[in-house]
Chains A and B, each alone.
Chain A
Amino acid sequence: MTKRTLFAGLLATGGVLVAGLAQAQDIINDELVINGDLNIVTQAPAADHLDYMSVVRSGWTFRSTETQAMQMDDFDNPGMLGVESAMSDFTTAMGADGESCASCHDGPESLSNVRATYPQWDEEHGEVQTVEMQVNECITERMGAEPWGYNSTEMINMSGLISWAGRGEIVDIAIDGPAQETWQMGKDLYYTRTGQLELSCANCHEDNYDNYIRADHLSMGMLTGFPTYRLKDARLVSVHSRFRGCIRDTRAETYAVGSPEFVALELYVMSRGNGLSVEGPAVRN
């Protein structure tokens, strides 16, 4: 290669980099306001337990303008179809006693603090529980009905309704006390390389957010928008499905949906989003 072509090549690369930075900056400056009146915190100072990051950003800030717009209006957000479907399940009686969710929890609004504080330690069961585990506890122990599948459509929709009810609440996951052991296990998983590609969660979502992995714009891997309507799947996707997809992409055998490993990982990753707003059901690629 002659000196001249080398120089031209460098210039071209420099141009792309500058353009990339400018674009990212524009996106960060956008504000997420849903339906014109619900302000969502999409950028916040990182929690104290995050050693390598100073700021955390919602996955919304990494998406294209068109995808962002879909989330700014509930009519355009296809995830709301799942929420509506769960709304009717919420008032449908299940089990022998003819009780529904609404028998105890008047309306979904009364559950507005749930998404922002789960997964959390459950004293009665002596374990960390996710929203899905809590829903199934209500269904089996309070209503006396058959549990829903952890990743069933009903469950994902109900999880979507609970996220929707808590939209705008600031995520505040307790990581100390009895939950600490599970949290540490989740943190270890986060930094453990898996699969033939030997990638950990941190390799993409901590070391390389805002960079591209092939055509994908890597986000910080926040869970605040889950369950998320993924355009490529055309349906709501649960946290554990997303975990499974990521680990599969490292060419590893994945943990099962609802497994203790994924519960621990969910606790840890959710706690990385402390300070951001709940914004589910979000719209993502």
Chain B
Amino acid sequence: MADNVRPRVRVPDSAAAGEVVSIKTLISHPMESGQRRDGDGNTIPRSIINRFVAAYNGETIIDVTMEPAISTNPYFEFQALIPESGTMTFTWYDDDGSVYEDAKDIAVG
């Protein structure tokens, strides 16, 4: 299991109705590809985050399937249209079954 996995997100606290805002997310994770070998020649088992989902008030904004070639500490920056006040949720799914979550509120008006 990956150690020290910590999600962090940056979302504006407020927005105008219908405004398109920028969102940045980063999660610290080794993203071990499963292709590398250790000093004794044994394969280091794959351990990556394989899916990332962001949603606003339950509606999916982005749903990403992640593959082993993605580098350490995956970073996503994307934009979303904010129609009303609500909560943006972020979910990362780890190969080992762990699920990491974060949420931020955005006020409209």
- The residues of A with any CB-CB pair to B shorter than 8 Å are 75-76, 78, 81, 84-85, 234
Contacts and interface: CB of A to CB of B under 8 A. Distances in A.
Contacts, number: 13
Given A75-B10, A75-B24, A75-B26, A85 B71 contact: no
A234 B71 CA distance: 9
Contacts of A75: 8, 10, 24, 26
B6 interface: yes
A236 to B, nearest CB: 12
Contact of B6 (A76, A78, A84): A84
Interface string B16-39: 000000001010100000000000
B65 interface: no
Interface of B: 4, 6, 8, 10, 24, 26, 28, 71-73
Contacts of B71: 234
Nearest to B25: A75
Given A75-B10, A75-B24, A81-B28, A234 B72 contact: yes
Contacts of B6: 84
B10 A81 contact: no
B102 to A, nearest CB: 14
A276 B8 CA distance: 31
Nearest to A81: B28
Contacts of B8: 75
13 contacts: A75-B8, A75-B10, A75-B24, A75-B26, A76-B24, A78-B73, A81-B28, A81-B73, A84-B6, A84-B28, A85-B4, A234-B71, A234-B72
A81 B72 CA distance: 11
B38 to A, nearest CB: 17
Given A75-B24, A75-B26, A81-B28, 9 more contacts: A75-B8, A76-B24, A78-B73, A81-B73, A84-B6, A84-B28, A85-B4, A234-B71, A234-B72
A43 to B, nearest CB: 30
Contacts of B72: 234
A85 B5 CA distance: 11
A67 to B, nearest CB: 15
A270 to B, nearest CB: 29
A78 B75 CA distance: 10
Contacts of B4: 85
A84 B71 CA distance: 19
Nearest to A75: B10
Nearest to A235: B72
A234 B24 CA distance: 19
User: 5 closest pairs, A vs B, by CB?
Assistant: A75-B10, A81-B28, A75-B24, A81-B73, A234-B72
B92 to A, nearest CB: 16
A78 B28 CA distance: 10
A233 B72 CA distance: 12
Contacts of B26: 75
Contacts of A76: 24
B108 to A, nearest CB: 23
Contacts of B10: 75
A234 B28 CA distance: 13
A156 to B, nearest CB: 15
A167 to B, nearest CB: 19
A222 to B, nearest CB: 27
Contacts of A85: 4
